[in-house]
């Protein structure tokens, strides 16, 4: 073989070796500093912790195992919805415990504004096609009503449409498609309660749309011990949950901006706590009491 040909082949091999070395160093140069992702990041692999090489990729089986372990101990407050046909994630109002069980937590929200039947309410029950069944029902102290010819119905907590539907279903076993109208005649008026450091705490009937500031005025205003900046509004959501909201009436009244004044709903309770001085006042003792007790000797006081 001629020396010139050997030199050409050696030069070509040198070029191939240089090109391969540059190709191997290219991914390291195009790392996160240049805005690109490494292959491990693109495949969803976890960062290296020293046990694995920095450019290695975790197998899919290990990824799934690690992901399942993470999901068993914590849950995102807003888990993404499943798009690949797998089991959908838990809703935002549910919590997942360590055993994988889902516990539903009711979200605090505005109460249903419809009137709900209370004890001692009275209703006129009118039948359109069979007026002989017309009657007057009164809610008993146990919350039940006693209609004629049908079993008792637990009416407390129902709305008027719900009571109407319950009566239609019950009388439907005796009559053919009865048409019933329920007319309230004597009901408990809507009210709110004002308590704490107001001059006239008590129960007040709504005379129209009422806000927290207006309710405090109706209750006689703040006392000298009231903490104006932390008025608390309690609103019952259901039989188990009560929403408490703190309102800074001091800032609103001083600024003259009542745009954030909350409108009350039936059953709301306003509580005005004591300020810091009123809480510590019972612990303050006059100096004369210390002298009478003998702490400073039995010396007469000279005023």
Give per-residue pLDDT as tens, 150-208: 999 999 999 999 999 999 999 999 999 999 999 999 988 889 999 999 999 999 999 88
pLDDT computed for residue 36 by the predictor: 40
The pLDDT-based confidence of 266 (bands split at 50, 70, 90) is confident
pLDDT computed for residue 293 by the predictor: 55
The pLDDT-based confidence of 284 (bands split at 50, 70, 90) is low
pLDDT computed for residue 287 by the predictor: 57
Assign domain 122-186 to its CATH superfamily: wza like domain (3.30.1950.10)
Residue intervals of the chain classified under CATH 3.10.560.10 are: 191-275
- The yes-or-no verdict on residue 122 having pLDDT over 60 is yes
- The yes-or-no verdict on residue 22 having pLDDT over 90 is no
Cβ atoms of residues 162 and 122 within 8 Å: no
Look at 2 and 95; give whichever has higher pLDDT.
2
Assign domain 191-275 to its CATH superfamily: Outer membrane lipoprotein wza domain like (3.10.560.10)
Q: Is 173 helix (H, G, I), strand (E, B) or coil?
A: coil
pLDDT above 90 covers a percentage of the chain that reads 44
- The yes-or-no verdict on residue 19 having pLDDT over 50 is yes
Residue intervals of the chain classified under CATH 3.30.1950.10 are: 122-186
Three-class SS of 218-245: HCCCECCCECHHHEEEEEECCCCCEEEE
The mean pLDDT value for 135-146 works out to: 95
How far is it, in rounded angstroms, from Cα 213 to Cα 270?
10
Cβ atoms of residues 63 and 81 within 8 Å: no
């Amino acid at each position: 073989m001629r020396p010139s040909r050997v030199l050409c082949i050696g030069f070509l091999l040198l070029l191939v070796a240089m090109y391969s070395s540059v190709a191997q160093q290219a991914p390291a140069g195009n790392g996160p500093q240049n805005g690109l992702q490494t292959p491990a990041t693109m495949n969803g692999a976890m960062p290296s912790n020293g046990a694995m090489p920095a450019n290695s990729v975790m197998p899919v089986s290990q990824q799934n195992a690690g992901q399942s372990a993470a999901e068993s101990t914590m849950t995102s407050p807003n888990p993404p919805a499943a798009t690949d046909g797998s089991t959908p994630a838990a809703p935002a109002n549910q919590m997942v415990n360590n055993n994988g069980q889902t516990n539903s937590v009711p979200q605090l929200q505005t109460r249903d504004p419809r009137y709900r039947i209370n004890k001692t309410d009275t209703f006129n029950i009118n039948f359109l096609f069979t007026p002989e069944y017309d009657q007057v029902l009164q809610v008993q102290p146990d919350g039940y009503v006693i209609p004629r010819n049908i079993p008792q119905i637990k009416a407390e907590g129902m709305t008027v449409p719900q009571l109407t539907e319950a009566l239609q279903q019950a009388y439907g076993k005796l009559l053919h498609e009865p048409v019933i109208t329920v007319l309230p005649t004597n009901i408990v008026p809507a009210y709110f309660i004002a308590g704490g450091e107001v001059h006239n705490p008590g129960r007040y009937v709504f005379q129209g749309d009422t806000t927290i500031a207006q309710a405090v005025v109706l209750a006689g205003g703040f006392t000298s011990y009231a903490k104006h900046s932390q008025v608390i509004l309690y609103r019952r959501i259901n039989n188990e949950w009560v929403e408490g909201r703190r309102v800074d009436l001091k800032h609103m009244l001083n600024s003259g901006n009542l745009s954030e004044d909350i409108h009350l709903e039936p059953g709301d309770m306003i509580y005005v706590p004591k300020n810091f001085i009123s809480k510590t006042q019972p612990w303050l003792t006059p100096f004369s009491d210390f002298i009478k007790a003998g702490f400073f000797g039995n010396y007469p006081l000279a005023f």
